[in-house]
Structure 1
Amino acid sequence: MVNIKEVAERAGVSPSTVSRALSGRVAVSPETKEKVMRAVRELNYQPNALAKGLKEGRSRTIGLIIPNVRNLVFPAAIKGITDVAKKYGYTVILCNTDEDIETEKAYVDNLRKRLVDGLIFSTATAASTHILELKEQGFPVVLMIRHLEDKVDAVIVDNFRGGYEATKFLIERGYRRIAFVNGTLELDLYRQRFAGYQAALAEAGIAYNEDLVVHGTRDWEDGYRAILTILERGQRPDAVFAASDPKALGVIKALKAKGLRVPDDIAVMGYDNLDMSELMDPPLTTMAQPFYEVGQRAAERLIKLINSKRKNKPVVERLPAQLLVRSSVDYGLAGQVIATGK
């Protein structure tokens, strides 16, 4: 590998002059800079980013820690992060934890040894004390999709409003026995969607029925089992609100297996607007989450924290979900997007 001394010899200048010419922060004559750049091209010199980072205290890298790389909510958010990082000259290192907190802590230690400038987490739970410790140490940290109350900077979706608007939409279409297939209540985002569901029912004067609710589902197979559980309880909903699109897929598959039609017998609504939701049979009415924008805002916030010279009060930004109407709910405006949360 070519080093800076070899470039200096080829250009006929000192190594410190090469360093100044490449940094762009110290003026050198145009003639000298051209000699250095010609030597760099001829020798295909690649500056040592790690050495530069050690000298400047910056590596221009960001660590991104997610809980499940197979979860389809993440590709758009990752694209948003990498687009912003590229714009500002940062590289993103992606780490997948599989929801294992010890794996996550090991990644954090490793990334800090590699001098990353900041971290974006989408893994926050009540057990994430290590994230709070990073914040207390003044290390730049931003959460996305999940958050830790108002203790750490975060970019999330307004899940209470999203759950409320989804349920309200179903009620306005004439549905009254609305089942709810939810994720784990250990995550605030599912607690908020559930609270929104309950609030819309209460506002409409519809009594809450716990037999129409199943918590703790993770994927489409759990969604499949959840609606069967509700039916086995002797309940017959006229609509199902699933707290994610994969859960809604499982619900639709189970209803079809029971010989029930969607939406003629039971309407189904999701929450995400993943790419697959439009390809379902029937296409899924859902609350569209702005994942790309979440990733963008999280990266922009992190870079702002990296460049800040003072400790700032945490900011939690809540972006609205949008109601996207398709054919899984009996409604005459299929294909329309309706803005909510304003």
Structure 2
Amino acid sequence: MVTIKDVAKKAGVSSSTVSRALSGKIPVDEKTKERVLAAVKELNYQPNALAKGLKEGVTGTIGLIVPNICNPVFPLVSRGVEDTARKHGYTLILCNTDEDINIEKECIQKLRKQWVDGIILAASGRDDSHINELKASGLPMVLLIRKLGDEVDAVVIDNKKAAYQAVRYLVDTGHQRIIAVIGDTTLPLYSERFQGYCQALEEAGIVPDPSLVIKVPDNESCYDAIYRLIKKGVKADAVFALSDPRALEAMRAVKDAGLRIPQDISVVGIDNLQFTPFLDPPLTTVSQPLYQMGEAAAERLISIIKGDKSPPYINVMETRLIIRKSVECRTSNKIMQL
């Protein structure tokens, strides 16, 4: 590897003169600068950006920690973060935790050892102690998808509202026996979506039926649970899935159980992922602005890195119902579908 000493030797100057010539911060006479630049070009010298950054107190890198990069939500979010980081001259380091809290903690420590300028964290939500420690360290950070009270900057959606929008639409179109496919309700994201499901039912005078609630761990499919429920003859006219991937599993289970969508059972999800318009039938879902959430998180982090001292801000981004063909209107008031 070519070093600054090699450049200095080639140009016939000291290493400090090479540094001054390349930084442009301290004047160097034109002929000397030309010799240095010629030596740099001839030797194909690449300055050590990390060393330079450490000397100046910045490295031009930010870390992004996500719980599962295979979840279709996170590639879109990550792209939003990376595009924004690149626009501002930052390099992104991506870490995947597989929803493991210990790996999440390790990622934070490794990124800090890499001297990143800040961290964007989509936390697992199973433990907050390491997030509080990171906040106390003073390293700029922004939470994404999942928040921690009002003490840390975050970019999120209103999960309760998103679920409410989906289930309220089912109720308004005449559905009453609605299966809910929910994750671990000890986690805030899933708990909030379950609350939205219950609120929409209760406002319509429908008592939530525990026998219609399916709780499935993140690493398991809901296919078998829905298939068995339908085959048992449980009366249901719709499925609310907490995410589009879950809705896709539900659609497969419904069809394999011999029922039609939406004539026999309607299905709705949350996300509005790219594949949803191409399902059979196209999926009605609640859209969350995933790419824009990544953009917003990166913009906020970079503003903090650059010295923004404003109080922590919880950026709650809007969701909206996307009506397609997976819900059948069972009332006389027909609702237009896309």
Scaled by the length of structure 1, the TM-score of the pair is 0.89
Is 1:99 aligned to residue 102 of structure 2?
Answer: no
Q: Which residue does 2:59 correspond to in 1?
A: 59
Q: Which residue does 2:337 correspond to in 1?
A: 334
CA distance in 2, matches of 1:215, 1:24: 61
Is 1:323 aligned to residue 321 of structure 2?
Answer: yes
CA distance in 1, matches of 2:186, 2:32: 62
One-letter amino acid matched to 1:239: A
Scaled by the length of structure 2, the TM-score of the pair is 0.90
Deviation at 1:5, TM superposition (A): 2.9
Q: 1:190 to 1:26 in 2, by over 3 A?
A: farther
Q: Which residue does 2:238 correspond to in 1?
A: 239
Q: Deviations over 1:17-76 (max 9, x none)?
A: 332332244455666555443332222110012211221121111111111121111111
Please give the residue correspondences for 1:147-226 in structure 2 after superposition, counting only pairs within 5 Å. 147-218=147-218, 222-226=221-225
Which segment is superposed worse, 71-80 or 90-99?
Answer: 90-99
* 8 Å CA contact retained: 1:154, 1:316: yes
CA distance in 2, matches of 1:105, 1:16: 40
One-letter amino acid matched to 1:216: V
Is 1:6 aligned to residue 6 of structure 2?
Answer: yes
* 8 Å CA contact retained: 2:283, 2:326: yes
CA distance in 1, matches of 2:268, 2:118: 37
CA distance in 1, matches of 2:29, 2:192: 61
Q: Deviations over 1:157-188 (max 9, x none)?
A: 22111111111211222222222111111221
CA distance in 2, matches of 1:30, 1:334: 70
Deviation at 1:8, TM superposition (A): 3.3
CA distance in 2, matches of 1:102, 1:218: 17
Q: 1:24 to 1:145 in 2, by over 3 A?
A: farther
One-letter amino acid matched to 1:43: L
Q: Which residue does 1:266 correspond to in 2?
A: 265
Which segment is superposed worse, 321-330 or 12-21?
Answer: 12-21
Is 1:19 aligned to residue 19 of structure 2?
Answer: yes
SS at match of 2:275: helix
Q: 1:48 to 1:321 in 2, by over 3 A?
A: same
Give the RMSD, CA atoms, in angstroms.
2.2
Is 1:257 aligned to residue 256 of structure 2?
Answer: yes
CA distance in 2, matches of 1:66, 1:298: 13
One-letter amino acid matched to 1:172: D
CA distance in 2, matches of 1:23, 1:204: 68
Which segment is superposed worse, 204-213 or 177-186?
Answer: 204-213
Q: 1:6 to 1:148 in 2, by over 3 A?
A: same
Q: Deviations over 1:124-165 (max 9, x none)?
A: 414131111110121111111112222321111221111111
SS at match of 2:207: coil
* 8 Å CA contact retained: 1:126, 1:148: no
Stretches of structure 1 that go unaligned for 5 or more consecutive residues are: 336-342
CA distance in 2, matches of 1:153, 1:239: 37
* 8 Å CA contact retained: 1:325, 1:334: yes
Stretches of structure 2 that go unaligned for 5 or more consecutive residues are: 330-334
* 8 Å CA contact retained: 1:217, 1:247: no
Deviation at 1:228, TM superposition (A): 3.4
SS at match of 2:116: coil
One-letter amino acid matched to 1:273: N
Which segment is superposed worse, 319-328 or 12-21?
Answer: 12-21
Number of matched residues? 333
Which segment is superposed worse, 281-290 or 301-310?
Answer: 301-310
Q: Which residue does 2:109 correspond to in 1?
A: 109
Q: Which residue does 2:332 correspond to in 1?
A: none
SS at match of 1:329: coil
